[in-house]
Amino acid sequence: MNALTRFESTTPVRYDVMNDMCTEVEARDTNLQEQINVLNTIEEVDMLNGWQHNDGTTKCKISRVGNTVTITDFFVTGVKTDPTTIMVLPVGCKPIIAFDIGMESYTSTPFSPNTMFFSFAPNGVVSVRGTPSDTYVRFICTFVCNWEGW
């Protein structure tokens, strides 16, 4: 939008300066809208190959508060010794705190957190693998995301 359309012709202003200011504000508005669009996509976290229960279903809970995504899942890891993709973070959302995990075993054997391995790919893919002894494990994984431009 041109500065001339915003002010009366009798106004004693430098139109070139005003036009530059208007252009800058419009650019900031566009950038802000892009950030809002990214925030709106955070709830579209995609669970890929989610943890399979004995009944073959994938069950998980995804919640978001601000820029923190929490994934709560109950799963059986008995045969998941190969890395398994559990989620893909939205575009522009990168983990700045890798994970904050709470785990417990539903078996009689004490569960060792060292048997779970999370990995984060540059494209936002989050994978995890366990050992055959880890069964009926509950984990809560919290991702704190940082959107570029903030």
Domain ranges (residues) in the chain: 3-41, 45-147
Instruction: Work out the percent of the chain whose per-residue pLDDT is above 90.
Output: 0
- The predicted model scores a pTM of 0.29
Is residue 116 very low, low, confident or very high in pLDDT (cuts 50, 70, 90)? Answer: low
> pLDDT at residue 89 above 80?
no
Looking at residue 150, what is its pLDDT? Answer: 29
CATH of domain 45-147: 2.60.40
Note whether 138 and 73 are within 8 A (CB).
yes
> Confidence band (pLDDT; 50, 70, 90) for 24?
confident
